[in-house]
Amino acid sequence: MTEILVLQFYPGCHLGVIAESFEAAGVRTLTVRPDKREALPASDAAFDGLVMLGGAQYAEDDGNHPYLADAAIFARAVHEHGKPILGVCLGSQVLARALGARVHKQGWTELGFTELTATESAKDDPLLAGLAPAQYLMEYHEDTFDIPPGADVLMTGEKCPNQAFRKGASYGFQCHFEVSTELWHQWMPGVRPELEAHHAWYLDRWEADFAAHEKDSRAFCNAVSSRWLDLVIERGRVAA
């Protein structure tokens, strides 16, 4: 059976809508919480793919979160073994770091469903080919990544240009395409103080934002995560 390792770095930042595709495909997942001092596996030998999820941490804050460096080293090994990786928000930043790119603070917070545009490279990409060239996807980040050397830019945004990349079978998406209203409600107790202090406008807007864009965002997530799983399953079949 196909086995996916999931690294969850933050409370509530779980697979969300991504889990729908995984459950439909009947794959098995193992979730490890490095932030809870759960150890990473000694190797990736037992896993066919790696998913790294979001969180509020800065991806290079090894002093406060030393497990992020360990996750980057682990992801680098998975990449070198040719196994597919899917990084979401913080996970995409850890992946960019693993592949030799700089992660840095952008000095502002990108929040809410934001228009992202597919690049020319996305037209023939296994995950994005045939999807609408413009997508409104959820953003909640104040850090960003440079594109790793040799990687293709897949999606870009007006204010934050680096939104998605691929290198080999490793994919990083800055956006939270796994979000749903249900998941947002789970985040709210933790994020409300920050919203009230710095982004009070979104407290009045988020319901309309989700009503306008959640359906299409879920469709995007289902397409991307199921196609990523296809890569995982095909790679496992060829390896076998």
Among residues 35, 39, 161, 173, which one has the least CA distance to residue 96? 173
For residue 38, what are the CA distances in angstroms to 10, 33, 70, 105? 12, 5, 12, 27
d(CA 95, CA 87): 6
Catalytic site includes residue 23: no
For residue 83, what are the CA distances in angstroms to 30, 37, 229, 231? 16, 25, 11, 9
Collapsing DSSP to helix, strand or coil, 208 comes out as helix
Among 110, 139, 178, 214, the active-site one is 178
Among 89, 160, 175, 221, the active-site one is 89
CA angle, 222 as apex, 219 and 228 as ends, to 5°? 140
Catalytic site includes residue 213: no
Among 65, 176, 214, 221, the active-site one is 176
Radius of gyration of the chain (CA): 17
Catalytic site includes residue 175: no
Q: Which residues are catalytic?
A: 89, 176, 178
